[in-house]
Amino acid sequence: MADTTKTQEEPKKEMTLLEVVKEVDGFPYERDDPEHFKQYMSKFHAFKINGCDHVLGYMPTEIMKKWDWEAEEHWKIDNETRTLTLLCDKDAKPEHRTELLHTTLRAAHEKKIFDVIKGNAWRDESYPIYHPVTKKLLASIERAAACLFGLPTWGIHMTAYYRDKKTREPILWIATRSEDKPTFPLMLDNTVAGGMATNQGPFECMLKESMEEAKFGPEVAKNAECGGCLTYIYVRDERAGGEKGLLQPEHEYIYDLELDEKTIPGVDEEHGEVQGFEAMNIEKVIRELRAGKFKPNCASVVIDFLMRHNQIKPDEESDYAEISARLHRRLGYPLS
Amino acid sequence: MADTTKTQEEPKKEMTLLEVVKEVDGFPYERDDPEHFKQYMSKFHAFKINGCDHVLGYMPTEIMKKWDWEAEEHWKIDNETRTLTLLCDKDAKPEHRTELLHTTLRAAHEKKIFDVIKGNAWRDESYPIYHPVTKKLLASIERAAACLFGLPTWGIHMTAYYRDKKTREPILWIATRSEDKPTFPLMLDNTVAGGMATNQGPFECMLKESMEEAKFGPEVAKNAECGGCLTYIYVRDERAGGEKGLLQPEHEYIYDLELDEKTIPGVDEEHGEVQGFEAMNIEKVIRELRAGKFKPNCASVVIDFLMRHNQIKPDEESDYAEISARLHRRLGYPLS
């Protein structure tokens, strides 16, 4: 395979693997500096839905102000408690709440208010919003708007690999994102990744994305094995496109797919998400990780793969336990 | 192999896997209930060493009061800030701090003050105390006393297994702890486990414990592969023996050892830690987990093994992400 990474921007100076992981888990930990955390959070409004006492997400106040929420009667802003609440009957059905959200967001989309949902950034896919305690579905929201509200999302990432015949070392199929992707163009990516829509299960999502992104049919992809779940809170920066400082708490179910040497991922020219795949050995994978060439959450998926497969070892990596904890952050906002 | 679990106490009612994990990660999360957390922590004194600004551990105040610390001039108790401090020169060498700790603990041992270090509970093994930020060694402490101070510890757990010839399902070698163990007698255990002494590395520790606990020589044990690191804060209960309510923040490096069907762990009659091993299939392992038959941290190791090996799947386990996060808690106390 051609080396598809040459076209990228100049490399940063070499990072430690913990620094790489901090790029995807960038939301501060209150315990590390309570004063800084308080100040940081003072720049957000909490997002709530009437009928649920708990905070569901957070929106940067400056970004919230770009839209006149209270022009519609189903929104209420409380600047004392810094809360943005979707008003609806306490016992409203999820479909009704979904409709209220959709009406507002569609209007903001048409008026091009928020970068993350304007134009073709609008995905027309539904993501679930769950009650943090009962886990029941409260509503669904346009996928591109989840980060606007700092809502937790669910997805899958899959690493396809084969083993070197002599050394048995895993060789990873790494994708390079297309040049014209609005988010993280030309950065390195996992073999397959995708978000889980409302009512979609992880395995089903993995099968669907495997076909769309790597041309692996179900007869191949069904052999993928789940190896865990990564959780982190990403704070969007300029590479993500759109507004900066939006929060993305993500759950990523992780699949490994061991292949023989002859089964090769295919580029789907129509979808155009990926410009190519490269079979990368561990040494090169680690070099690219440290050089910051991977999309941040994909870097974390690779690091987790290497840790689970004994390719990053605790005898050699002094930050091993801290990296492991930050790849599995306990998500959820304060409960009331 | 004989079913070695029959002699155990009556089973509890079936637990969910998340409930099983909460037994080992029992220390509260501040975010879940800040008021309860504050009240909980008000019953502890922080442990510090002069020369390091950060809290190193916590001791329940009631238990601390069993000993007259200030009878020796190298201790200071501040009841305002609820702090127990080892006094020594700011730039004291680790050996000097180790000696001061040892003098006090040895005296308390001889006077039979604390259950966790009296009699043959004293292990005569050194555990490291690291600076939480610089990670430099501050001192070493008698292994059995680490939990008295709520100090983080490091260890290894190893699961040996073979694959069923037909189904390829992993069959796990599960140990039953000896009846006369002071801690968790007759409970189920991993194939091999052990604590890492000062200056011992994870792989070295795994090799040593494999020989001592399962009679796996280095030619077998060297094939073990690291698959991650579990981190949690265990709150000692009656099953652990000794004082209740002591804190044990643990880092456990996790090894998997795939064997052929003929390589069988051996019971070391001399050490007498284990009364037998059983080759358990996944169905039985899960039944024993839910029945509370495993020592709590060993249950977590098994759950992590099953998650990494696609035997517990996110499509079937609704608490998957929460279990994963609680198996990889970010350790460390507030930094100043």
Choosing among A32, A36, A38, A226, which should be mutated to test the B contact, i.e. which has the most B CBs within 10 A?
A226
Whether the pLDDT of residue A192 is over 60: the answer is: yes
Residues paired with B247 in a beta bridge? B235
Residues within 8 A of A (CB atoms), B 223-242 only: 225-229, 231
Q: Does A31 touch chain B (CB under 8 A)?
A: yes
pLDDT(A4) > 50: no
Which residues, in sequence order, are CB contacts of A61 under 8 Å at separation 6+? A43, A44, A45, A82
pLDDT tens across B17-37, in order?
Answer: 999 999 999 999 988 898 999
Residues of B within 8 A of A321 (CB-CB) are 229, 231, 251, 331
B209 has a pLDDT exceeding 90: yes
ipTM of the prediction:
0.94
Testing the interface with B: which of A308, A317, A327 to mutate, by most B Cβ within 10 A? A308
* pLDDT (tens digit per residue) in B124-183: 999 999 999 899 999 999 999 999 999 999 999 999 999 999 999 999 999 999 998 888
* C-beta atoms of B313 and A203 within 8 A: yes
* A322 at B interface, C-beta within 8 A: yes
CB contact at 8 A, A184 and A195: no
The band of B10, judged by pLDDT with boundaries at 50, 70 and 90, is low
Residue A268's pLDDT is: 82
pLDDT of residue B229: 98
How many Å lie between the alpha carbon of A212 and the closest alpha carbon of chain B?
A: 21
Q: Say whether A334 and B31 touch across the interface (CB within 8 A).
A: yes
Per-residue pLDDT for A239 more than 80?
yes
pLDDT reported for residue B18? 98
| Closest CA–CA distance from residue B91 to any residue of chain A (Å) | 24
CB contact under 8 A, A226 and B331: no
Identify from A328, A329, A333, A336 which residue to disrupt to test chain B contact, counting B C-beta atoms within 10 A and taking the largest count: A328
Task: Compute the average pLDDT of residues B177-204.
Answer: 95
Establish if A70 touches chain B: CB-CB under 8 angstroms: no
CA-to-CA distance for B190 and B164, rounded, in angstroms?
Answer: 19
Best mutation target among B131, B252, B255, B324 (most A Cβ atoms within 10 Å) is: B324
Q: What angle do CA A168, A172, A177 make, to 5 degrees?
A: 175
B68–A contact, CB cutoff 8 A:
no
Check pLDDT > 80 for residue A306.
yes
Determine the pLDDT at residue B332. Answer: 85
Q: Which helix (H) or strand (E) holds B300?
A: helix B296-308
Note whether A227 contacts B307, CB cutoff 8 Å. Answer: yes
- Name the residue with tokens 């191949």: A220
- pLDDT per position as a tens digit, A22-71: 999 999 998 889 899 999 999 999 999 999 999 999 999 999 999 999 99
Average confidence score pLDDT of chain A: 94
* First vs last C-alpha separation in chain B: 53
Rounded Cα distance between A285 and A281, Å, is: 6
Confidence of residue A182 (pLDDT cuts 50, 70, 90): confident
What does DSSP assign to residue B66?
T
Residues of B in contact with A335 (CB under 8 A): 31-33
Separation in Å, CA of B269 to nearest CA in chain A: 31
Enumerate the residues of chain A whose CB falls inside 8 A of the CB of residue B324: 228-229, 231, 328
> Each residue of B53-77: pLDDT tens digit?
999 999 999 999 999 999 999 999 9
- Residue contact A225–B310, C-beta within 8 A: yes
Distance CA B292, CA B186 (A): 12
User: Quick one: three-class SS letters along chain A?
Assistant: CCCCCCCCCCCCCCCCHHHHHHHHCCCCCHHHCHHHHHHHHCCEEEEEECCCCCCCEEEEHHHHCCCCHHHCCCEEEECCCCEEEECCCCCCCHHHHHHHHHHHHHHHHHCCCCHHHCHHHCCCCEEEEECCCCCCEEEEEEHHHCCCCCCCEEEEEEEEEEECCCCCCEEEEEEEECCCCCCCCCCEECCEEEECCCCCCHHHHHHHHHHHHHCCCHHHHCCCEEEEEEEEEEECCHHHCCCCCCEEEEEEEEEEEECCCCCCCCCCCCCCCEEEEEEECHHHHHHHHHCCCECHHHHHHHHHHHHHCCCCCCCCCCCHHHHHHHCECCCCCCCC
Distance of CA B36 to the CA centre of its chain: 25
Which residues are within 8 A (CB) of B300 and not within 5 positions of it... i.e. 6 or more apart?
Answer: B20, B21, B24, B25, B230, B232, B327
Q: What percent of chain A clears pLDDT 70, i.e. is strictly above it?
A: 96
Q: Could you say which of A34, A253, A308 has the minimum Cβ distance to residue B308? A: A308
Tell me the per-residue pLDDT of B225-281, one tens digit each, with 9 for 90 and over.
999 999 999 999 998 999 999 999 999 999 999 999 999 999 988 777 899 999 999
Q: How far is B221 from chain A (nearest CA, A)?
A: 14
pLDDT per residue over A105-145, tens digit each? Answer: 999 999 999 999 999 999 999 999 999 989 999 999 999 99
Give residue B12's pLDDT.
56
Q: Tell me the per-residue pLDDT of B294-332, one tens digit each, with 9 for 90 and over.
A: 999 999 999 999 999 999 999 999 999 999 999 999 998
| pLDDT band, residue A89 (cuts 50/70/90) | very high
Domain annotation for chain B: domains and CATH numbers = 17-27+152-326 (3.90.79.10), 43-145 (3.30.750.160)
